[in-house]
């Protein structure tokens, strides 16, 4: 059978999603010829990854129908009529979830005139029609005056609803009117719509798509039913060989913010997957304000199997000799810089831009303490972060062989699972600073942090990252004048940076992963923590350090004495 595919691609960021590469390569064996039409700019490197016989680069106008019409015009009606079937398809779905060849063979044997994936019943707004994201027309239709006249008269329309009315629905209606018959893989005309807000099963009922093993899942359906998505994708992974990770990756990079709940459900880094070691040198930056804590880090550094260059910053020259002495004891080499006591651990790291920019992967840590309650906050926090990010460095760094990975942060430290230190009221004070930071970095993706109740953050700014994933942060060239004086307010630019890292990486089309906290706590603890205060959220800014500690003691959260 001679089959031709007209495939329309569009990505608003002029990027190429892996699900498109997979889709076209899976469909390729079915067709004699593939006409690829892109409504967004494709690089030559990306184009080389896509199977095609004819490529048309065009402006994003007229949506899919104008693009398909351009494809037909390029082929010519006379040549098109020689094919046994023509498939019209776009990249708005994930799939194929199952082998498509049996569908083609079955419908060809049945001698059906045209067929698709899903249809849409008649409503007040639209006529009955095959939904246009995937439709196959057999030769009888390709040679018909109705089909040819339709495509010759397609105009560039700017309103998507007009495209649906004048093209998507009318083509099906015109073909039915002249006696042609169609079928769909999922027949929806008589299917119950109980519980649905709209009778569009491709969009409004992804669970039926999975249950009925429909070979394509609409991207918009994944986006619309966020709370259902993990269940849908888990079920899909049990019955299909489709690479589910492509769904999470596409949604995170191009559709959603990276902190949607269903995306976080897939965010843990699998530390059992130890890839080949990273061959290029890694940079490690350690800010050493508390030099007595250096052994906690040096004991781990000497176990690393990858090559790294160590950069240590501290606040005063008196500590430099002590740092060098401890380096000697552990037989470690490092460049030590005195950067002053402004900007905590963040500004010292940014001051090393000229050094760190030479490395692809960087680890950033600091000697964390909490003066008011180090036994409770600082030590617990620091130990958790070391367990999650410093100890498993060999496994973490190896994962950066995946060029799409931009950032690895720690899970929420145990202390914060028991105590609602970070809450929406406090985060709301930091959000404007995050917006200001975003504008100063001149980011491409739109985001309004003031509309978000909380953020997925790199606690303590600990983490491993690809320099390119966070390069805008370094390019700001922040100075001491940008940082408030100590004692630092709870809504400073440093707090904004701490919370902005995964979003900066997302802006640059990188994935982020979380290194899991090994302390297993039931989620019931989180529920009780979130709802523990009957008097509303605690205002930690008003309480201050010592008063906050006394508050915790008073609430029996700490059963110990204050040592004065």
Q: What is 261-307 written as a DSSP string?
A: HHHHTT-B--TT---SPP-S-EEEEEE-SSGGGHHHHHHHHTT--S-
**If you average pLDDT over every residue of the chain, what do you get?**
91
Displacement of CA 493 from its chain's centroid (Å)? 24
pLDDT at 389 over 70: yes
CA distance 149 to 519: 67
Of residues 545 and 398, the one with the higher pLDDT is 398
Q: Kindly report, residue by residue over 460-471, the tens digit of the pLDDT.
A: 999 999 999 999
> How much is the pLDDT for 556?
42
Distances (CA, A) of 396 to 287, 390, 512, 522: 20, 9, 12, 25
Contact (Cβ atoms closer than 8 angstroms) between residue 162 and residue 153: no
CA distance 81 to 143: 5
**Helix axis angle, 169-177 to 145-152, nearest 10°:** 150
CA dihedral 302, 306, 312, 318 (to 10 degrees): 30
pLDDT at 370 over 60: yes
pTM to 2 decimal places: 0.89
> How much is the pLDDT for 39?
97
pLDDT at 552 over 60: no
> How much is the pLDDT for 563?
30
SS3 category, 409: strand
> How much is the pLDDT for 532?
67
Q: How would residue 372 be classed by pLDDT, with cut points 50, 70 and 90?
A: low
Of residues 38 and 166, the one with the higher pLDDT is 38
Mark residue 429 as left, alpha or beta (left: phi above 0; alpha: psi -120 to 50; beta: remaining).
Answer: alpha
pLDDT at 172 over 90: yes
> How much is the pLDDT for 536?
52
> How much is the pLDDT for 299?
98
pLDDT at 541 over 80: no
| Residue 298, token pair as written in the block | 């040096």
Of residues 222 and 548, the one with the higher pLDDT is 222
Residues 218-233: what's their mean pLDDT? 93
Strands 129-130 and 114-120 come out as antiparallel
Strands 361-366 and 463-466 come out as antiparallel
Burial class (CB in 10 A: 0-12, 13-18, 19+), 524: exposed
| Residue 278, token pair as written in the block | 């990273």
Q: How would residue 559 be classed by pLDDT, with cut points 50, 70 and 90?
A: very low
Contact (Cβ atoms closer than 8 angstroms) between residue 28 and residue 20: no
Residues in the chain: 564
Query: Highest mean pLDDT: which of 12-26, 153-167, 408-422?
Result: 12-26
CA distance 20 to 104: 20
Which range is least confidently modeled, 27-41, 262-276, 294-308?
A: 262-276
Q: Kindly report, residue by residue over 255-291, the tens digit of the pLDDT.
A: 999 999 999 999 999 888 666 778 899 999 999 999 9
> How much is the pLDDT for 534?
42
Backbone angles phi, psi at 114, to 5 degrees: -155, 155
pLDDT at 562 over 50: no
pLDDT at 302 over 60: yes
Element (H, E) at 136: strand 134-138
pLDDT at 88 over 90: yes
> How much is the pLDDT for 150?
95
CA distance 303 to 145: 74
Q: How would residue 557 be classed by pLDDT, with cut points 50, 70 and 90?
A: very low
> How much is the pLDDT for 125?
83
Strands 114-120 and 182-186 come out as parallel
Backbone angles phi, psi at 38, to 5 degrees: -115, 125
Which range is least confidently modeled, 211-220, 230-239, 382-391, 536-545?
A: 536-545
Q: Kindly report, residue by residue over 478-531, the tens digit of the pLDDT.
A: 999 999 988 888 889 999 999 999 999 999 999 999 999 999 999 898 888 877
Contact (Cβ atoms closer than 8 angstroms) between residue 233 and residue 217: no
Taking alpha carbons only, the member of 350, 381, 370 closest to residue 285 is 350
Backbone angles phi, psi at 287, to 5 degrees: -95, 120
* DSSP-H helix ranges across 406-564: 414-418, 424-440, 471-475, 493-507, 523-530, 540-554
Q: How would residue 558 be classed by pLDDT, with cut points 50, 70 and 90?
A: very low
pLDDT at 547 over 70: no
> How much is the pLDDT for 271?
84
> How much is the pLDDT for 553?
47
CA dihedral 426, 427, 433, 439 (to 10 degrees): -170
> How much is the pLDDT for 27?
98
Return the percentage of the chain with pLDDT > 70, whole number.
92
CA dihedral over 501, 341, 300, 354, signed as positive or negative: positive
Strands 3-9 and 85-90 come out as parallel
Backbone angles phi, psi at 186, to 5 degrees: -110, 105
> How much is the pLDDT for 555?
46
């Amino acid at each position: 059978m001679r089959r031709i595919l007209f495939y329309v691609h569009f990505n608003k960021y002029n990027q190429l999603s892996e699900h498109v590469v997979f889709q076209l390569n899976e469909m390729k064996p079915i067709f004699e010829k593939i006409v690829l039409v892109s409504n967004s700019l494709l690089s030559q490197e990306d184009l080389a990854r896509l199977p095609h016989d004819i490529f048309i680069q065009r402006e994003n106008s007229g949506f899919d129908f104008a693009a398909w019409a351009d494809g037909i015009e390029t082929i010519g009606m006379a040549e098109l009529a020689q094919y046994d079937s023509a498939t019209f398809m776009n990249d708005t779905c994930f799939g194929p979830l199952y082998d498509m060849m049996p569908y083609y063979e079955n419908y060809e044997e049945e001698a059906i005139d045209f067929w698709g994936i899903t249809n849409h019943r008649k409503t007040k707004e639209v006529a009955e029609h095959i939904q246009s994201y995937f439709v196959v027309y057999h030769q009888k239709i390709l040679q018909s005056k109705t089909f040819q006249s339709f495509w010759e008269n397609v105009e560039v329309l700017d309103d998507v609803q007009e495209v649906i009315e004048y093209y998507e629905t009318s083509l099906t209606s015109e073909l039915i009117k002249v006696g042609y018959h169609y079928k769909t893989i999922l027949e929806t005309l008589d299917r119950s719509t109980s519980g649905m807000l709209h009778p569009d099963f491709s969009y409004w009922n992804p669970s039926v798509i999975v249950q009925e093993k429909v070979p394509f899942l609409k991207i918009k359906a994944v986006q619309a039913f966020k709370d259902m998505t993990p269940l849908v994708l888990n079920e899909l992974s049990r019955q299909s060989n489709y690479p589910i990770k492509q769904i999470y990756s596409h949604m995170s990079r191009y559709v959603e913010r990276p902190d949607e709940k269903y995306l976080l459900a897939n965010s843990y880094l699998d530390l059992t997957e130890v890839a080949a070691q990273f061959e290029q040198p890694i940079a490690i930056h350690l800010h050493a304000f508390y030099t007595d804590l250096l052994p906690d880090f040096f004991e781990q550094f000497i176990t690393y199997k990858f090559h790294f260059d160590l950069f240590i910053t501290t606040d005063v020259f008196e500590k430099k000799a002590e740092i060098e002495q401890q380096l000697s004891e552990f037989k470690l080499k490092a460049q030590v810089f005195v950067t002053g006591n402004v900007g905590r651990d963040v500004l010292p790291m940014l001051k090393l831009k000229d050094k760190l920019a030479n490395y692809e992967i960087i680890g950033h840590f600091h000697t964390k303490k909490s003066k008011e309650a180090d036994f409770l906050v600082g030590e617990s926090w620091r130990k958790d972060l070391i367990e999650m990010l410093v100890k498993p460095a060999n496994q973490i760094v190896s994962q950066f062989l995946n060029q799409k990975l931009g950032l690895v942060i720690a899970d929420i430290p145990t202390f914060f699972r028991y105590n609602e230190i970070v809450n929406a009221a406090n985060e709301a004070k930091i959000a404007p600073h995050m917006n200001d930071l975003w504008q100063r970095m001149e980011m491409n993706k739109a985001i309004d942090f003031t509309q978000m109740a909380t953020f997925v953050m790199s606690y303590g700014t600990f983490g491993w990252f690809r320099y390119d994933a966070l390069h805008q942060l370094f390019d700001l060239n922040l100075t001491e004048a940008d940082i408030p004086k100590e004692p630092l307010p709870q809504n400073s630019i440093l707090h904004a940076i701490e919370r902005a890292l995964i979003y900066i990486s997302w802006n640059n089309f990188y994935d982020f992963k979380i290194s899991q906290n090994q302390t297993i706590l039931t989620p019931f603890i989180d529920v009780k923590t979130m709802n523990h205060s009957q008097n509303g959220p605690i205002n930690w800014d008003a309480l201050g350090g010592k008063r906050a500690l006394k508050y915790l003691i008073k609430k029996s959260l700490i059963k110990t004495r204050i040592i004065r």
